[in-house]
A and B are shown apart, each in its own frame.
Chain A
C-alpha cells in the first residue's frame, strides 16, 4: 500500500492554471502593440481580443464536455476522421513547440536588453527552458500545485504596481475610448495571441473532479487574466498617454520604473516587477511545454510523457535561437500569433460545428 493523494483538479486549480498560463511573457510589450493598433482605444482593442478568445474558450469547453475524458488530440479523430485529425494534431504539437521556444526567446531578449546586458542570451534562454523541462517531467498534481502557488504571486505585485501607478494617472489620456489606426486588425490578432494559453484547458478538462465546473473555472480564469491585462493597458495609457507608449519598447516595465513605493523603501519597482514577470514567464513556459509533451504522448499513445521532455529540449533551443534580432523576433511572434488564432480559436469552433452537425459525441464514461 502506498499513500496517494487526489489526482483530479478542482475548479480553483483549473482557474489558476488558466490565469498563470495566460499571463506570460507578453505583458511587457503588450501595451505597445495595443496602442500601435488602436491609439487610445487600446483598452477596447484588448476587450475585443478577450471577446474573441472567449469564443475559442467556450468552444473548447463545449467540445471537452461533449467528449468526456478526452482531449482535442483524442476526439479530433472522431470528429473529422483519422487523416485530418493527424494533420491537426501534428500542427498543434508543432505550434506548441514553436510557441514555447518563442516565449523562451522573447524572455531572453527582454532580460538581455533590460537587466543582464552582457550575459549571452543563450544562457538565460537555456536556464528558463531547463527549469520548465524539469518541471514538465512532474505529474498533473504537481502541475496544478505549481500553478496554484504562483498565481497569487503573479497577480499581487502587478496589481500593486498598477494601483500605485494610478496616482500618476491622467484620465484625459484615456480618451477617446474608441480610436483606431490602419494596423488595427493585425494588432487585434497579436493581442488575441496573448490569451491563447487558454488552450491548455482541453488537456485538463478530462481530469476535472466535476467536469461541469469547467464553465465556471474557464470563464473566471479568463476573466481574471483579462481583467489584469485591461488594468495594465489602462494604467499604462493613463500614466503615459498613447503617444508616449508608442515610444516605449516595454511600456509595462517603464510603468514599474516610474512608480516608487511610498516612503522610498524602493526607489523604483522595475527589478521587483522583473522578478514577478520571470515567474509569470516560467508558468507560461511550463504550461506550453507540458502541453507539447502531453499532446505528443496522447498522439503517439505512449504511457509516459517524461520520455519526450528532454528529447524536445534541443529542438526548442534551436528554434529559440533562430531570430537574429529583436525586431525579427517580434515579426516572427506576430506570425505565430496568426497561426495560433487559426489553431486555438477557429479550429475549435469548426470542430464543434462539425461535431454538432454530424452528431458525434463521446462515450459517457470513456477514459
Chain B
C-alpha cells in the first residue's frame, strides 16, 4: 500500500507526463509570421472564357470525373501583408524603405471562391489567414451574377469578421485593390479607413458584410453595399449604393441618394449637403444646406386592406453657404421658416425619386417589408410569406413621406 505522499507523487508525475504528451501536439499553433495575412480581396469575372480555360489548366483544378459546376470563371486578387515592410509603431525605425510595397498582390482563378482560394494557396508558402480580411471588393459584373457562392464561402469560414466590408466596384475590382493611395501605406487599410470614416461622417450607412447577410436573410428587406469608383488620382470614390435583390445586384444609386436613403431610414449623423433655391428670388440664387441629424418615425397603416407606409422624417441641418454674399439675408426666424418649407419640398421630391428607383428595381432596401412582417403578421402570412412575393408587392406599395426639416445654425456669419 502506498502512502498518501507517494500517491500524490505518482499523480503529479502522471499529470506532468500527460502534459509532455500534449506538448507534442501543438496542433493548431501557427505563428503570426507564418500566416499569409490577407487584408483585402478583389473578385472579378474573368473576361473571356476561352483564354481562361487555357490558364486554368496551369493551376490546380478541381474538375474531376464527376465534373465541375458550370459557373463563370472568377479571378481573385488577394492583398497579402508582407511582414517587415509595415513599420512597427509610429516611428521611422525598422520600417520599409520608400518604394518597397508593403503588400503583395496575388491572383488566382477558379469556378468558385474556394477553388480560387485553393489555387492561391497552392502558389503560396504560408497558410492563408482570413482573420484580418477587412475588405472584399467585387466587380459590378460579378455582383450582378450573384453573390450566393461568395457569401456561402464567407459564412462557413470561422475567421471572417462580420465587420469586414463588402463593396461593389464599378469597373474592375482588381484595379481598386491595386490602387496605391498616398495617405496610407497599405491600400486595403486605406479603403477600410475611407469606408469607416464615411460612416462616421454620415456619408454611408454602416452596412458591412454581417449586415449584408442579415438583410439578405430577412424576408422583407434587401441588402445594399457601398458602390465604389476608381478615380484618376489612384483614389476611390463612394459613388452610391449598390442595390441587391436576392444576392444579385440590380442597380446602383447616385452618391446624393445615399443621403436620401439614410434620411428615410433615420440613420443619424447626417453628412450630405444639397442646394435649395432661395425663396422669392428670380435670379439664380441658392443656399447650400448640410444635414447633421436624422430621425425617422415609420408607421404602417392599412388602407383598403392594403399596407401603406408613412414615414415621418425629421431632419436637422445647418446653412453652409450662399451663392452670393449679400443678396439674401437671414436675420429673423420667419426667413428660416420660409427656407424650411422650400427644403421640405425639395427633399420630398428627392426621396420619392429614390423610392421610385428602388420600386423599379423591386428591391425594398428600406426594409418596409420588415414593418409589415413584424407589425401585421396576419397579413404577412396570408399575402406575402416569401421574399420574392414581397418584392412584387413592394413594386406597388403605397409610401408616404413627410419631411420636416429644421434649420438649426447658420454659422459664424450674422446675416
- Give the interface of A toward B (CB within 8 A): 40, 113-120, 123, 127, 172-176, 179, 239-241, 243-244, 246-247, 254, 257-258, 260, 267-268
Contacts and interface: CB of A to CB of B under 8 A. Distances in A.
A51 B374 CA distance: 26
A267 B375 CA distance: 35
A211 to B, nearest CB: 35
Nearest to A257: B162
Nearest to B374: A175
B364 to A, nearest CB: 13
Contacts of B377: 175-176, 179
Given A240-B214, A247-B213, A114 B374 contact: no
Contacts of A241: 214, 217-218, 370
A253 to B, nearest CB: 9
A22 B375 CA distance: 34
Contacts, number: 64
Contact of B28 (A119, A240, A258): A119
Given A120-B27, A173-B370, A247 B162 contact: no
25 contacts: A40-B374, A115-B158, A116-B27, A117-B158, A118-B28, A119-B28, A120-B27, A123-B22, A123-B25, A123-B27, A172-B367, A173-B370, A175-B374, A175-B377, A239-B214, A240-B214, A240-B217, A241-B214, A241-B217, A243-B217, A257-B161, A257-B162, A258-B162, A260-B163, A267-B161
Contacts of B370: 172-173, 241
A231 B168 CA distance: 36
Contacts of A123: 22, 25, 27
B217 A175 contact: no
Contacts of B219: 243
A148 B214 CA distance: 38
Q: Which of B22, B218, B371 gathers most chain A CB within 10 Å?
A: B218
A172 B27 contact: no
B163 A176 contact: no
B374 A173 contact: yes
Nearest to B213: A244
B359 interface: no
Contacts of A244: 213-214, 217-218
Contact of A119 (B27, B161, B214, B218): B27
A246 B217 contact: yes
Interface residues of B, number: 22
Given A116-B28, A119-B28, A241-B217, A268 B161 contact: yes
B133 to A, nearest CB: 12
Interface string B369-380: 011011101000
**Which of B28, B161, B214: most chain A Cβ within 10 A?**
B214
Contact of B163 (A113, A117, A243, A258): A258
Nearest to B206: A168
Given A119-B27, A257-B161, A267-B161, A243 B218 contact: yes
Contacts of A268: 161, 163
Contacts of A174: 374
B210 interface: yes
Interface in B217-238: 217-219
A274 to B, nearest CB: 11
A321 B90 CA distance: 51
Given A116-B27, A116-B28, 20 more contacts: A40-B374, A114-B158, A115-B28, A117-B28, A118-B27, A119-B28, A120-B27, A172-B374, A173-B218, A173-B370, A173-B374, A175-B375, A175-B377, A176-B374, A239-B214, A244-B218, A260-B163, A267-B161, A267-B163, A268-B163
A99 B339 CA distance: 70
Nearest to A134: B15
Nearest to B11: A134
B371 A172 contact: yes
B27, B162, B219: most-surrounded residue (chain A CB, <10 A): B162
A240 B216 CA distance: 11
B155 interface: yes
Contacts of B218: 173, 241, 243-244
Nearest to A117: B28
A366 to B, nearest CB: 33
Interface string B359-397: 000000001001101110100000000000000000000
A127 B158 CA distance: 23
A134 to B, nearest CB: 9
A123 B373 CA distance: 46
A173 B214 CA distance: 11
B38 to A, nearest CB: 16
Contacts of B162: 254, 257-258
A120 B163 CA distance: 30
Contacts of B27: 116, 118-120, 123
Nearest to B214: A244
A303 B219 CA distance: 61
Contacts of B155: 247
Contacts of A173: 218, 370, 374
A273 B25 CA distance: 25
Contacts of B163: 258, 260, 267-268
Interface string B179-223: 000000000000000000000000000000010011001110000
A10 B367 CA distance: 52
B262 to A, nearest CB: 15
Interface in B126-175: 155, 158, 161-163
Contacts of A120: 27
A145 B213 CA distance: 44
Contact of B217 (A113, A115, A247, A267): A247
A240 B375 CA distance: 18
